[in-house]
Amino acid sequence: MKFSLVDFNSPRIHTLFLGVCFLFIVLGLSLLKAQVFSHDQFLKLSSKNRIRRVLVEAPRGQILDRYGNILADNRPRFDLVLIREELPKKKKEYVEFLSTFLDVTQKKLWKTLQKTAYLPYKPAVLLQDIDLNLVAKIEERNQDLPGVHVRVEPSRFYLYGEETSHLIGAVGKIPKKEVEMWKERGVRTQETIGRSGIERILDSHLRGKVGGMQVQVNNRGYLDKIIGSRESIPGKDLVLSIEAPLQQHLSEQLKGRKGAGVVMNVRTGEILACVSQPSFDSNILSSGANRKVIQSYFQDQGRPLYSRYNLGLYSPGSLFKLVVALAYMQENPKTWKEKHVFCDGVFNLGSFQFRCWKRSGHGSLSLLDSIKVSCNLFFYETGLELGAEPIAEMASRFGFGQKTGFLLAEKSGLVPTPKWKKKKYKQGWYGGDTANFSIGQGALLCTPLQMAVFISALANEGSILSPVLVAGGKSKEKDLNDLRPFISALKEGMRRVVQDQGGTASKAWVKEMPAAGKTGTVEVSIGGGEKIKHTWFGGFAPFENPEISVTILVEEGESGGRTAAPIAGSLFKKYAQLRSLI
């Protein structure tokens, strides 16, 4: 058992011994460096190897209409994914086969595979939201399709697709430029968020709280065990004031046109329907799979992504005559009934000539009759008599030029005044400006939504109600009690517009819901001497004891009476039908 380390007789063996010692010291020190000095770094790498965070998204809350019809729901979506490492060795032939089997270009297949070239066993999405036939076809031939898998993902489903799109909006992944903003709200980068509409504005209500799992995986990325997990908390449901059948009907009525419509409860301020056309499909925008269609949304001349009822600015045209009339009545509370103007078709203002829309003239008209036939001449004269300021003040009292308090984004529009003109253009305010202003043209701009609020305020005789979208929401109310008698009188004029022989909106008349209202037709130059007409109708029904107001705007229409009024009429009818069912 005697063993002495350095007791070698041969010098050459002693040299070999020294060599051996050297090699062991090299190994010992190298291991010391790796295992002791670099331990932390390697331990981190080994954790990174095996620990993955898996996000479990919370189901988003449903969005319902006032009667419980589902507008937005969740459904499983099937994605076709490829796992590069599971593909057979002869990749080229296999890709050729897949290309014909799945009807996908080889280029797309290679591109998809390339995405995960450095992420072993990570699935790469080839096709999103495939239909059930393809799912069945793939499952049937499972054995012949190594590396091809169908993955189930939660996804948003909008039952009324195009009909509620501007209102409800769409969901999606967080865009790059918003990553920081969502991070501050505690939303993870991989989460699905509301990208537009109600989905975005009330995102925190609908989204719920993501759950997560910390899992240990093996070298293939397959689950080994769950280290820790937290349940996701589902988002809360949301009930809107919308009436789905009415919304659907309005959307159908406007389909094929460029325009907008708002149906509002004149007692509560609730929005029963709001539509902008042309429209887009929230489902397509949310899934993001159909790039071609999404591309077309962005390029279409009709701008389907643009919501016209809250963001579109239009001249109110003849509808604004109601404001001018109220301004005149307030200035002349005793005498306005006696006011008569003789319309011969031409109005001279200095060297300028302004024409009534009826070339032959209307003859002698009272205020209420001039509302009925929408005589321009009456309002040129009345407006010039009043001056711009009282008209602008009356317009502001009804909310023009201000935001209505709508839940979604909105434009405030513009009520011009001499002061405004001086500031903006460094020019004086001329009689011609007042004349244009008096018939709702010129610089004056409003949204269809503002118009709806105005019409509703006439219907309820003086209460300006902010629009309400969420069921049970309280409208902010502003009462114009001093105007009550004038509004009440003016409504008679509006009744004649719809119900009397020769009224401009006789096409809005339906016997189930006798309405009152006002039409508008605005000529707009689109350059090159060409002109188009934006056509309006704003009204309410039933005339006695009004329930709803309907505001319709159609771009490039014929006239308010012929284009917008019939649409309103069909809505009144639809509303009456729906009421009779209850």
> Following DSSP, what letter does each residue of 311-379 receive, concatenated?
H--B--GGGGHHHHHHHHHHHSTTTGGG-EEEE-SEEEETTEEEE-SSTT--EEEEHHHHHHHT-HHHH
Specify the residue, 40 or 338, whose C-beta has the smaller distance to other proteins: 40
Please report how close the Cβ of residue 91 comes to other proteins at its closest, in angstroms. Answer: 15
Which of 33-41, 53-61, 293-301, 549-557 is the region at the interface with other proteins (rule: CB under 8 A)?
33-41
Specify the residue, 114 or 335, whose C-beta has the smaller distance to other proteins: 114
Under rule CB under 8 A, residue 28 binds other proteins:
yes
Task: Choose which of 42, 67, 110, 352 interacts with other proteins (CB under 8 A).
Answer: 42
Please report how close the Cβ of residue 117 comes to other proteins at its closest, in angstroms. Answer: 9
**Are the C-beta atoms of 247 and 163 separated by less than 8 Å?**
yes
Under rule CB under 8 A, residue 30 binds other proteins:
yes
- Alpha-carbon dihedral angle through residues 502, 507, 513, 517, given to the nearest 10 degrees: -60
Sheet strands side by side (includes 51-56) = 51-56, 211-217, 223-230
Specify the residue, 119 or 532, whose C-beta has the smaller distance to other proteins: 119
**Are the C-beta atoms of 302 and 278 separated by less than 8 Å?**
yes
Backbone conformation region of residue 288, classed left if phi is above 0, alpha if psi is from -120 to 50, else beta:
left
Which of 21-29, 242-250, 302-310, 372-380 is the region at the interface with other proteins (rule: CB under 8 A)?
21-29
Under rule CB under 8 A, residue 23 binds other proteins:
yes
Distance CA 479, CA 560 (A): 29
Q: CB-based contacts of 503: which residues, under 8 Å, 6+ apart?
A: 372, 373, 496, 497
Please report how close the Cβ of residue 219 comes to other proteins at its closest, in angstroms. Answer: 4
Specify the residue, 14 or 230, whose C-beta has the smaller distance to other proteins: 14
Under rule CB under 8 A, residue 89 binds other proteins:
no
- Kindly report the backbone phi and psi dihedral angles of residue 161, in degrees, each rounded to the nearest multiple of 5, phi listed first: 25, -95
Distance CA 440, CA 422 (A): 20
Specify the residue, 21 or 136, whose C-beta has the smaller distance to other proteins: 21
Q: CB-based contacts of 271: which residues, under 8 Å, 6+ apart?
A: 241, 242, 262, 263, 264, 265, 467, 468, 469
The two three-digit tokens of residue 39, written as one number: 């331990």
Under rule CB under 8 A, residue 3 binds other proteins:
yes
| Other CB atoms within 10 A of residue 67 CB | 13
Task: Specify burial of residue 411 (Cβ count, 10 A radius: 0-12, 13-18, 19+).
Answer: middle
Backbone conformation region of residue 421, classed left if phi is above 0, alpha if psi is from -120 to 50, else beta:
alpha
Please report how close the Cβ of residue 32 comes to other proteins at its closest, in angstroms. Answer: 7
Specify the residue, 5 or 526, whose C-beta has the smaller distance to other proteins: 5
**Are the C-beta atoms of 361 and 341 separated by less than 8 Å?**
no
Please report how close the Cβ of residue 114 comes to other proteins at its closest, in angstroms. Answer: 14
Specify the residue, 93 or 224, whose C-beta has the smaller distance to other proteins: 224
The two three-digit tokens of residue 340, written as one number: 């008569």
Under rule CB under 8 A, residue 223 binds other proteins:
no
Which of 184-192, 212-220, 391-399, 559-567 is the region at the interface with other proteins (rule: CB under 8 A)?
212-220
Task: Choose which of 49, 106, 229, 296 interacts with other proteins (CB under 8 A).
Answer: 49
Under rule CB under 8 A, residue 38 binds other proteins:
yes
Under rule CB under 8 A, residue 27 binds other proteins:
yes
Under rule CB under 8 A, residue 43 binds other proteins:
yes
Task: Choose which of 53, 58, 89, 118 interacts with other proteins (CB under 8 A).
Answer: 118
Specify the residue, 24 or 352, whose C-beta has the smaller distance to other proteins: 24
**Are the C-beta atoms of 148 and 84 separated by less than 8 Å?**
no
Number of residues that bind other proteins (CB under 8 A): 42
Task: Choose which of 17, 182, 354, 420 interacts with other proteins (CB under 8 A).
Answer: 17
Under rule CB under 8 A, residue 224 binds other proteins:
yes
Distance CA 334, CA 104 (A): 78
Nearest to 83 by CA among 130, 117, 48: 117
Task: Choose which of 114, 142, 190, 218 interacts with other proteins (CB under 8 A).
Answer: 218
> Following DSSP, what letter does each residue of 521-535 receive, concatenated?
EEEEE-STT-EEEEE
Please report how close the Cβ of residue 412 comes to other proteins at its closest, in angstroms. Answer: 57
Under rule CB under 8 A, residue 20 binds other proteins:
yes
Please report how close the Cβ of residue 89 comes to other proteins at its closest, in angstroms. Answer: 14
Which of 14-22, 186-194, 424-432, 477-485 is the region at the interface with other proteins (rule: CB under 8 A)?
14-22
Under rule CB under 8 A, residue 220 binds other proteins:
yes
Please report how close the Cβ of residue 124 comes to other proteins at its closest, in angstroms. Answer: 15
Distance CA 372, CA 247 (A): 29
The two three-digit tokens of residue 90, written as one number: 């002869």
The footprint of other proteins (CB under 8 A) covers 1, 3, 5, 7-10, 12-13, 15-17, 20, 23-24, 26-28, 30-32, 34-36, 38-39, 41-43, 45-47, 49-50, 118, 120, 216-220, 224
